[in-house]
């Protein structure tokens, strides 16, 4: 009975992470469309939620990567692996919520991987085992993280330059109207791509937990109910709308016109879909942010807020180690107490911290009604007082 309850808590925590991934990353697809007026805020998040739901069923290549290439399954016993997964998830959720509070478009993927790496690493130190597959992490997580925003920025910059060259003689009103329709299509494609990439990561983590519990083996297929639950969780989170991050991406980084928005979204979709096909657990946040930044570089005279971009880069650099530290602490607490009680204590800590950050966010609310107000840039992105 105790093992079943621990498994249930781990799966619930995984779905909670998937939910935070959804609302944290909504801006990756819809921020530019909302900022340019191509889509109304509430319609944008509904559309994105539906397409995330559909995209989650299209591929399991990324799920296989998370389940087999991040943590070494062969060296951990059932209850040990369960604790590694649980502590890693808590690390990912706390980092997601903190960066959402600050309005920073940080990577949910790297928060998850950081938490898992931290908990597996401390487990390895305590037990003398090697719990982390460093070579795979470097090749499939770190290198893509370094390269993807640069590639996205270059592609989007080139696309933006080409678009403005082609439409140089087109009246601005007609140009903007046409590109707003184009944005709807390209933003929809990004949402679909996000579902094919990000929902898979939680599927992989739940798969790890089921293997740890003895319910599955490493060679089994991911059950349909796991796919459906993850798809619904990320869709519900997307529908909630991470308005703080949407505001930063749509208004804080670059002043975006419809041609730039379409170029950014098309670039993001192409790169994310390619990574999903190759089984690379790419950060959609890095790609989307790089694309938006690239549109500012590609348009002559565009205003790029490099200070905001700098804060994002700092958040990116510290995501893996920060989530890893939380994973370490959570594993140590749960391990020291032991059993179901240890898991419950860490779960209670997670709920308390989540509630505290939600209450803090309500002091400076950002919602569909004020998400497009002019950027003031005071304090932290997303924490400025919006009229």
Spell out the domain ranges in the chain.
2-361
Return d(Cα 329, Cα 323) in angstroms, integer: 10
User: CB burial class (10 A; 0-12, 13-18, 19+) of residue 353?
Assistant: middle
Q: For residue 380, what pLDDT is reported? A: 44
Alpha helices per DSSP H over 128-257: 134-137, 143-166, 172-213, 224-240, 243-247
Spatial neighbors of 46 by CB under 8 A, at least 6 apart, are 239
Using DSSP, state whether 220 is helix, strand or coil. Answer: coil
Spatial neighbors of 20 by CB under 8 A, at least 6 apart, are 93, 96, 97, 100, 108, 237
Phi–psi pair at 130, nearest 5 degrees: -105, 100
Please, what are the averages of pLDDT over each run of 10 residues along the chain (387 residues)?
A: 88 94 83 85 91 80 58 71 90 93 86 89 86 79 84 90 81 71 83 77 84 79 89 90 85 82 84 71 81 88 82 88 94 93 95 95 88 67 45
Return d(Cα 344, Cα 8) in angstroms, integer: 11
Q: For residue 330, what pLDDT is reported? A: 96
Return d(Cα 147, Cα 30) in angstroms, integer: 23
Give Cα separations from 373 to 94, 154, 179, 366, 370 (angstroms).
Answer: 28, 29, 22, 10, 5
Return d(Cα 48, Cα 30) in angstroms, integer: 7
Return d(Cα 305, Cα 375) in angstroms, integer: 11
Q: For residue 327, what pLDDT is reported? A: 94
Strand intervals (E) in the chain: none
Return d(Cα 174, Cα 156) in angstroms, integer: 22
User: CB burial class (10 A; 0-12, 13-18, 19+) of residue 153?
Assistant: buried
Q: How many CA atoms lie within 13 A of 239 on its CB side?
A: 11
């Amino acid at each position: 009975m105790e093992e079943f309850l621990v498994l249930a808590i781990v799966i619930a925590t995984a779905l909670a992470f998937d939910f935070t991934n959804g609302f944290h990353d909504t801006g990756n697809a819809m921020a530019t469309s909302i900022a340019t007026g191509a889509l109304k805020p509430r319609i944008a998040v509904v559309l994105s939620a539906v397409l995330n739901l559909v995209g989650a069923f299209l591929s399991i290549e990324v799920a296989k990567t998370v389940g087999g290439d991040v943590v070494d399954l062969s060296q951990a016993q059932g209850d040990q692996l369960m604790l590694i997964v649980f502590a890693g998830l808590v690390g990912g959720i706390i980092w997601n919520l903190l960066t959402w509070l600050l309005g920073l478009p940080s990577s949910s993927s790297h928060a998850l991987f950081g938490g898992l790496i931290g908990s597996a690493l401390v487990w390895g130190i305590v037990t003398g085992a090697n719990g982390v597959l460093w070579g795979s992490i470097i090749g499939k997580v770190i290198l893509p993280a370094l390269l993807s925003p640069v590639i996205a920025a270059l592609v989007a910059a080139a696309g933006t330059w080409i678009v403005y060259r082609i439409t140089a003689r087109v009246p601005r009103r007609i140009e903007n109207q046409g590109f707003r329709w184009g944005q709807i299509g390209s933003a929809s494609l990004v949402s679909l791509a996000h579902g094919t990439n990000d929902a898979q990561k939680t599927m992989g983590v739940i798969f790890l937990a089921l293997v740890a519990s003895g319910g599955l083996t490493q060679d089994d297929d991911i059950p349909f109910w796991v796919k459906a639950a993850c798809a619904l969780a990320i869709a519900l989170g997307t529908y909630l709308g991470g308005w703080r991050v949407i505001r930063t991406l749509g208004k804080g980084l670059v002043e975006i016109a419809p041609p730039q928005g379409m170029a950014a979204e098309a670039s993001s979709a192409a790169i994310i879909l390619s990574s999903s096909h190759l089984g690379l657990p790419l950060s959609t946040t890095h790609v989307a942010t790089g694309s938006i930044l690239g549109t500012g570089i590609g348009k002559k005279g565009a205003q790029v807020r490099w200070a905001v971009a700098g804060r994002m880069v700092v958040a990116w650099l510290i995501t893996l180690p920060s989530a890893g530290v939380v994973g370490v602490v959570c594993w140590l607490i749960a391990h020291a107490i032991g059993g179901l009680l240890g898991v419950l204590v860490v779960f209670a800590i997670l709920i308390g911290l989540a509630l505290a950050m939600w209450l803090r966010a309500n002091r400076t609310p950002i919602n569909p009604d004020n998400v497009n107000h002019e950027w003031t840039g005071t304090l932290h992105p997303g924490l400025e007082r919006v009229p």
